[in-house]
Amino acid sequence: MMGYKVGIYVRESRDDNDENYETIETQRDMLVDFVSKNGLGEVAAVYIDNNVSGTGFEREGLKKLEDDVKTRNINLLLLKDLSRLGRNNAKTLLFLDFLEEYGIRVLTTDGRYDSTKDNDMVGIETWFNERYAI
């Protein structure tokens, strides 16, 4: 099998400071390293939203990601964890559905989510991520 065209999405907000001690660059470098160590393919794009809350989905990096999905520039999205994508349960699940419609594999480095496997808990996890933001 050929490697993936990987899109890396990193987001950090002031609200995450208690939870995340690394910088946005450290988060990005960790994900790039994960792609290499796991032979996932090549990093086609890195999308960054720095100092932006995950409750809203009007984010610059997320818009670029959406455009690349529609133009098929990536076929795997790598995240540190699902809370990076969003902390709004309904919108996160809708965005995951959008990615699935385009055949994008979504993988988190925390090992808690891989869209190619059965993910009965994804709704509960996204709900929990939203609770954290309130």
- Residue ranges and CATH numbers for the domains of the chain are 4-133 (3.40.50.1390)
Token pair of 99 as six digits: 């990615």
Token pair of 64 as six digits: 């670029």
Catalytic pick among 13, 36, 83, 115: 13
Question: Is residue 115 among the annotated active site residues?
Answer: no
Whether residue 55 is predicted with pLDDT greater than 70 in this model: the reply is yes
Average pLDDT over residues 29-48: 97
- Report the C-alpha gap between 48 and 50 in whole angstroms: 6
| DSSP run (H or E) holding 77 | strand 76-79
Using 50, 70 and 90 to split pLDDT, how confident is the model at 40? Answer: very high
Using 50, 70 and 90 to split pLDDT, how confident is the model at 16? Answer: low
Output the pLDDT for position 123.
Answer: 65
CA-wise closest residue to 130 among 77, 81, 91: 91
- Report the C-alpha gap between 121 and 59 in whole angstroms: 26
CA-wise closest residue to 61 among 41, 82, 43, 45: 45
Output the pLDDT for position 20.
Answer: 52
Q: What is the tens place of the pLDDT at every residue in 82-115? A: 999 998 888 999 999 999 999 999 999 999 899 9
